[in-house]
Amino acid sequence: MNSGVNTQDFEEIYQKYKNTLYRIAFTYLKNNVDVEDVLQDVFLKRFYKSPKFKDEKHEKYWLIRITINLCKDTLRSFWNKNVKSIDELMESQEIIQWDFSEDEKYIFREVMSLPDKQKTVMYLYYYERYSCKEIAEILKCSESAVKMRLKKGRELLKINLEKEDFV
């Protein structure tokens, strides 16, 4: 490993965040080839160009934000305007490997059909258990924008609410 990056530090950070960042990148890009490129870049930036973090929370915020920005760059790329359709995604190797039940496939399809902004906010709120305020800080948008995206996402998915701190 290049000097200046401790192998143990690397392992710890990589293991801690790899799945979170993978999930976020996949919701945007819908294919493992582009996701792998983005994750390569994210971790390279983390180890060679990141700012000093106040704490672990801010490190994670930064990583999520960088991942989203790189995904958007990828989607904007001249050759990547041909994004996989939902039907193609559902037939892809990525879905097969996760071995979803029929029920799960149906829900996954519905979730992946949401616009990117809603998918991301839903994931950060329901799975990562961030508050709206924290999500707003991560995404650099207003708290009301986060709430609107959650509301819209729920309407589209008709989720039964189980979190009580959403107004």
Partner 1 sequence: MKLDKYNKIIDKMSIPDDMDNRLKEYLLSDKKENKKITSKKLIKRFSIAVATMVLVLGVSQTSFVSTAASAIIHFFEYGFTFTENNGQETTINMKMNYLTLDKNTPMESMYMDSIDQVSDTIGIKLLNSTKEYKSNGFVEYYPSISNDNILAGIRIINNCYIIGDIKNISVTNRKSQDSKNMINYTVGENYKTPIGVQISIRTNENLTSKYQDNELGFVSENTNIDLDDNNKQSELYQIDNLGIKAVLFTTQTDGPIEWGLGDKNIDVTYAVFVYEGVEYVYFGGVSHNTMKEFLNTLK
Binding site for partner 1 (CB under 8 A): 1-2, 7, 10, 14, 18-19, 22-23, 26, 31-37, 39-41, 43-45, 47-49, 72-73, 76-82, 85, 94, 97-100, 103-104, 107-108, 110-111, 117, 122-123, 126-127, 141, 157-163
Closest approach of Cβ 113 to partner 1, in Å?
12
Closest approach of Cβ 64 to partner 1, in Å?
15
Structure token digits, residue 33: 């080839």
Structure token digits, residue 85: 């359709």
Nearer to partner 1, 56 or 106 (CB): 106
Nearer to partner 1, 37 or 143 (CB): 37
Q: How many secondary structure helices (H) and strands (E) does the chain include?
A: 9, 0
Q: How far apart are CA 167 and CA 155, in angstroms?
A: 14
Closest approach of Cβ 72 to partner 1, in Å?
7
Structure token digits, residue 74: 């990828």
CB 130 within 8 A of CB 138: yes
Nearer to partner 1, 15 or 55 (CB): 15
Closest approach of Cβ 132 to partner 1, in Å?
16
Nearer to partner 1, 51 or 55 (CB): 51
Task: List CB contacts of 32: < 8 A, sequence separation 6 or more.
Answer: 26, 93, 94
Closest approach of Cβ 78 to partner 1, in Å?
6
How far, CA to CA in Å, does 125 sit from each of 5, 57, 75, 163?
32, 15, 24, 9
Structure token digits, residue 157: 């998915």
Residue type, 146: V
Nearer to partner 1, 36 or 91 (CB): 36
